[in-house]
Chains A and B, each alone.
Chain A
């Protein structure tokens, strides 16, 4: 391997935790994310009855709270019910008085924090938490999991072998250098002073609490594998740094034989083994744990936060792989927290959102691959990645679709130019017709705000040419244009409501599509509903 994994650093907290801090409360920090309408953690785990010290920080520019509810609570309904009595809700700083709530913070003003001490419920389960400030519950929520530690290894024995391997050998054919019992029943490496070229086999018993699916974890430098009753549940063979891996297997209840095989070639040497039965917390079976082991493998991959791009005085352009905008995405963020992404594949507006713009860490902290979601909230995708213009027999004709990552037939991408304010005008040619597409922002996301789009055409348009403005949506005409409720949007696993309003002259609804006959200039206004009026109230007094 060319690079050292950050996971090689020992997790100091975890090493010293059990003995020294038995009486200390478990410390958890939960933060709001600026202009993202999210908590930084959507998943917290504590043991039943644990003493917890929760530090709740609000670095955002809006007020937020955090309210913990009983298992099964529909948190969005909870907020709607509270708002049925708006005056009372406001008097209570939008903190619901509801039997489903068992713990709540204050309503924190921007840049405030609060430390809350509490005792976790005795009953294992999933306890939802949410910001109950109006309009926040859709995306600002998470789950507190109350989970017990799983059983640990019993009767653990080790056998130490010598050899120079690139992969795990067949230990059954080798004679151990020495063997013995492991007093603390924890998997560990330091039985001797050997730094290189050795192998270890651990055997012990583990109590599987029920019939079900079990997740095993390891992080090993170099290779390891885990077997239960002789069957492999996880394999991380070969020479590599200690990256966190997982393996799942259905196993029947009972006391079973567990075997862990490991070898060290040279250089760094680490071994972490953990497991999680259903309805239990991830539990370490080894002395050493890598950073982030408590989150498991899945969450670890989502830890991409770190290089926010913030439009300050003028628009910021970010051409990159943007989830929902294809491989030739061009994201544009405006200082007022209104943003969009244009696709130089479909030649069309791909996404619009409000709040924070983009986080460049995925692309700028590594080799540059992968698609990044918008950093903000209320992400909408009016038309999916389809060409903007088409010649149709009638507005009812189905709109042409596009193979993924394809540029539509008859379209040629020509680039863009910036005006004196830094606003880009995108240019492309459609069957000889020159098209300019300019999208600018008006207002501020906190007071609503809108994107103003002007499509200008030079050249002779073919007959029956249409521009598509919304697709596969429930479209309701209203006094200020159309209310569009498009299909729910999911980008790399995050779901968005995909609702917005749209105003343009001459548009018609046909099926689920909103189309407008093409003409030399088409102006479209995209807007989101204003944030709840409480956002513009004087900040809550405590």
Chain B
């Protein structure tokens, strides 16, 4: 069992540096693992915020918990293997400790929650429903079906993730295929929108195994997909209405979706995304490859969370934060639009979550809530479930802030001015570009390596940006850039000195 050994060697080799990395990250972003309620496994699958500040948690076991004091509590949960829960590390007053109320139970795997007009909307395996406590007893008594627009067959793989309401008042659902390869019931492997009247609009085909869905600062919709057939790696994908997202397994449902136009041309096997984009006009390439593999970005990307806190979560306003269920980490994504296509860069951001994060949400106050479960796949965090908060400590890490594609290279901006000597030194950088095979087989190795030379480096006078000129840019490739050598003016190293930029388009200027 080779994978097992690989994991072991990575663990052995990486343990010291991983915890050192976590310690370094903790100076800037602090993780508070909450105590969890007794006699419950809160396998968080979805998170939303109520107007009164309570945090609603939907779980894989079909419960809804409402958590109070989640913004302020400093009481830390310590895993107790006997009681199988996180217990408070100290005797704290109820005001200092998170408090839970079981609002609903018995639902079928809640992977989407959204509060609106006094109702808590939820997505289970096969429907959008909404629930409400109309008696004031503290527990939901009304469970209304809003829409049942997609099928379910009993296969474990048929998860369904729901968004919050978009700018038009629609709720989006992304549903996983039946298994990795095919779609046995209607609209499995699709993104659909449910309008306020319950009407369903098929919106994008070609999804494989979504892990989460969310919006950017402009309200554009993205979801994460997982490595598998037609997916060389985990990805962050832009849900453009009418688009095809790459996996043809659910294409028979175009017959039920006249609004989508004719069924797209089937992708050729053993091809490349950039090649097939030229053949399939509906095909939207992944905005960002969440580069697969140990020590890289993702194994199982999940929620899509945008920082709309206007600085309360640190310097990365309007960027996206994407947790990963198996790596128990969070990555950071900066997106731009080039030739009408979304693309961008992913950086490592934060390690050390305690379970496999699935649901996440950030408030306008910059409090980032994330919860999850390792069930079925395992997670580096090691515990079967967890609910946690990430706070910015107020200290700004020295990081690459944004990475912009240029006609002949890239521009990096920084969270603080760079030391011009190290930033201008070619030895501070190394670059590689690669892509994945776009194929029906499960996954893909990294292929078609290109090693661009950095021909010219211009450091801006204010030290806030660096312009890199490459000898070659490869359209469709992921450009992996390491910059361990750069120091800030105050001689700090970069906290996460690697970036993976998905170059779907090369800008003309």
Closest to A419 in B: B141
Contact with B along A46-87 (1 / 0, CB 8 A): 000000000000000000000000000000000000000000
New contact pairs (15) apart from A267-B4, A368-B60, CB-CB < 8 Å = A266-B1, A266-B2, A266-B4, A267-B3, A267-B5, A320-B108, A327-B153, A330-B106, A364-B61, A368-B376, A369-B157, A405-B151, A413-B127, A415-B129, A415-B142
* Cβ–Cβ contact A367 & B142, under 8 A: no
Inside 8 A of B168's CB, which chain A residues have their CB? none
Inside 8 A of B142's CB, which chain A residues have their CB? 415, 417
* Cβ–Cβ contact B4 & A368, under 8 A: no
Inside 8 A of B157's CB, which chain A residues have their CB? 367, 369
Inside 8 A of A267's CB, which chain B residues have their CB? 1-5, 8
* Cβ–Cβ contact A4 & B376, under 8 A: no
Chain A contacts with B in 191-227, Cβ cutoff 8 A: 196, 221-222
Which size class do A's interface residues fall under? 35 or more
Cross-chain pairs A/B with CB under 8 angstroms, 14 sampled: A3-B377, A4-B4, A266-B5, A267-B1, A267-B5, A319-B106, A364-B375, A368-B109, A371-B154, A405-B151, A405-B153, A413-B148, A417-B141, A420-B135
How many Å lie between the Cα of A354 and that of B3 in the bound state?
A: 46
Interface residues on chain B, number (Cβ under 8 Å): 45
Inside 8 A of A366's CB, which chain B residues have their CB? 156, 375-376
Inside 8 A of B197's CB, which chain A residues have their CB? none
How many Å lie between the Cα of A1 and that of B5 in the bound state?
A: 10
* Cβ–Cβ contact B1 & A268, under 8 A: yes
A304 interface contact, C-beta 8 A? no
* Cβ–Cβ contact B156 & A416, under 8 A: no
A148 to chain B, nearest CB (A): 35
Sorted nearest first, the 9 A-B pairs with minimum C-beta distance are: A369-B156, A317-B106, A367-B376, A267-B4, A367-B156, A267-B5, A415-B145, A267-B1, A319-B108
A44 to chain B, nearest CB (A): 32
Inside 8 A of A266's CB, which chain B residues have their CB? 1-2, 4-5
How many Å lie between the Cα of A419 and that of B152 in the bound state?
A: 29
B107 interface contact, C-beta 8 A? yes
A2 to chain B, nearest CB (A): 6
A316 interface contact, C-beta 8 A? yes
Inside 8 A of B107's CB, which chain A residues have their CB? 319
Looking at the complex, which one of B140, B145, B152 makes contact with A327 (CB distance below 8 Å)? B152
Inside 8 A of B61's CB, which chain A residues have their CB? 360, 364
Inside 8 A of A474's CB, which chain B residues have their CB? none
Q: Are A316 and B378 also in contact (CB < 8 A) when A1-B4, A221-B1, A266-B1 are?
A: no
How many Å lie between the Cα of A196 and that of B127 in the bound state?
A: 49
Closest to A332 in B: B106
Inside 8 A of B8's CB, which chain A residues have their CB? 267
Inside 8 A of B185's CB, which chain A residues have their CB? 405
Inside 8 A of A418's CB, which chain B residues have their CB? 139-141, 143
Looking at the complex, which one of A3, A240, A368, A415 makes contact with B378 (CB distance below 8 Å)? A3
How many Å lie between the Cα of A368 and that of B326 in the bound state?
A: 18
Inside 8 A of A415's CB, which chain B residues have their CB? 129, 142-145
The total of Cβ contacts below 8 Å across the A-B interface reads 110
A481 to chain B, nearest CB (A): 31
Q: Are A414 and B378 also in contact (CB < 8 A) when A327-B153, A368-B109, A405-B185 are?
A: no
Chain A contacts with B in 235-270, Cβ cutoff 8 A: 239-241, 265-268
B124 interface contact, C-beta 8 A? yes
* Cβ–Cβ contact A369 & B154, under 8 A: yes
Closest to A416 in B: B143
A454 interface contact, C-beta 8 A? no
Chain B contacts with A in 1-19, Cβ cutoff 8 A: 1-5, 8
* Cβ–Cβ contact A368 & B1, under 8 A: no
B138 to chain A, nearest CB (A): 13
A13 to chain B, nearest CB (A): 25
A370 interface contact, C-beta 8 A? yes
* Cβ–Cβ contact B153 & A2, under 8 A: no
A318 interface contact, C-beta 8 A? yes
Inside 8 A of A413's CB, which chain B residues have their CB? 127, 145, 148
B220 interface contact, C-beta 8 A? no
Chain A contacts with B in 1-59, Cβ cutoff 8 A: 1-4
A319 to chain B, nearest CB (A): 4
B253 interface contact, C-beta 8 A? no
Chain A contacts with B in 400-447, Cβ cutoff 8 A: 405, 407, 413-420
Inside 8 A of B143's CB, which chain A residues have their CB? 415-418
A96 to chain B, nearest CB (A): 43
A535 interface contact, C-beta 8 A? no
Interface centre among B3, B109, B129, B148 (most CB of A within 10 A): B3
Inside 8 A of A367's CB, which chain B residues have their CB? 156-157, 375-377
